[in-house]
Amino acid sequence: MDHDEAAPAGTGEGSMISRRQILMSSAAFSGVALAAGVLGSPAGAEAAEVPPARPNIVYIVADDLGWRDVGFQGSDIRTPHLDKLAQEGARFEQFYAQPMCTPTRAAFMTGRYPLRYGLQTGVIPAAGTYGIPLDEYLLPQMLQDAGYRTAMVGKWHLGHAKPEYWPRQRGFDSFYGALVGEIDHFKHSSHGIKDWYRNNKPLEEKGFDNSLFGEEAARTIEHHDAGRPLFLYLAFTAPHTPFQAPREYLDRFETIEDENRRAYAAMISVMDDGIGKVVAALEKRGMRDNTLIVFHSDNGGVKSSMFAGDSKISGGLPADNGP
């Protein structure tokens, strides 16, 4: 049966069940199966009496990161925090995403191919008035219904023209970051228009966006009520154009002669440090052992100026996608 279609429920005429109900009943069934089949049951107890495990989830997405542009893939760009996660965790060596920002993020949020709701062909431009259709039941909504606190930090890029498309209205208890696809990393603006929000309110704030994202994500963990599981979606804008970074990070890569490559490497280093702060916050709160951390890029590094975004780029594009 196509998941887009309603399914008959019971024998009553016209009795139908929505896709949302199908997904919720499937999630409930999976939770019970996990509790019974994996965690086991106390002797003499019914399987249904064992509550399903609910780990914290920290889901981290980089923006236009080249496959080889991390240390654990052999890069000269140092990423010690990501390298440690890769060393101690599971590496998915055949992992596939959509080729551009919006389609990948839409697929992640819906669990469905973007062609099903018209977001398969490209990104939502700054002038775009559309977003993920409002009848889609998104991952944060499902996790809210499962008892999670849901927080988003970073880049949304799934609809910005009206508040109905924004993260707070799509299942996130809190949102901090940018709505559109590309912003000036210091000015927090797109085409001269400020794009920086806390929840539904515009925010005036100084600082490099990716540094602020890492700090905000760590604060979210530090202030989290441990009585509920946490879903934190951390979507960096690094190393998406424009290629900008704080001076202290540029100085880390002073031996790289190409200016674009130097800034690109510095942006990745900022992101890596932010991830380190997140892991440290989890450890400080005693949450690390019960937290699933996922990291990947929304797509590979951009090698054609046609897809480099709104910024004018002089010189070569610096990403390295490997063999």
Cα 238 from Cα 63, distance rounded (Å): 5
79 in Cβ contact with 269 (< 8 Å): yes
Q: Is 296 an active-site residue?
A: no
Nearest CA among 174, 153, 105, 140 for reference residue 277: 153
State how far the Cα of 75 lies from the Cα of 282, in Å rounded to an integer.
27
Residue of 81, 101, 224, 240 marked catalytic:
101
- What are phi and psi for residue 178, nearest 5 degrees? -120, 150
Helix %, strand %, coil % for the chain, to 5? 35, 15, 50
Amino acid at position 159, single letter: G
Would you call 157 a catalytic residue per the annotation? yes
- C-alpha count within 13 angstroms, C-beta hemisphere, residue 102: 26
Is the separation of the CB atoms in 57 and 291 below 8 Å? yes
Q: Which two tokens stand for residue 284?
A: 């400080």
- What tokens does 70 get? 């991390």
Asked if residue 80 has a cis previous peptide bond (ω within 30° of 0), the answer is: no
Active-site annotation holder among 157, 185, 188, 240: 157
Is the separation of the CB atoms in 154 and 211 below 8 Å?
Answer: no
Residues in the chain: 323
Tokens of 315: 């010189």
For 222, phi then psi, to 5°, come to -60, -35
Residues 6+ away with beta carbon under 8 Å from 288: 279, 282
Please state, in angstroms and rounded to a whole number, the distance separating the CA atoms of residues 316 and 167: 35
Residues annotated as catalytic (active site), given as ranges: 101, 157
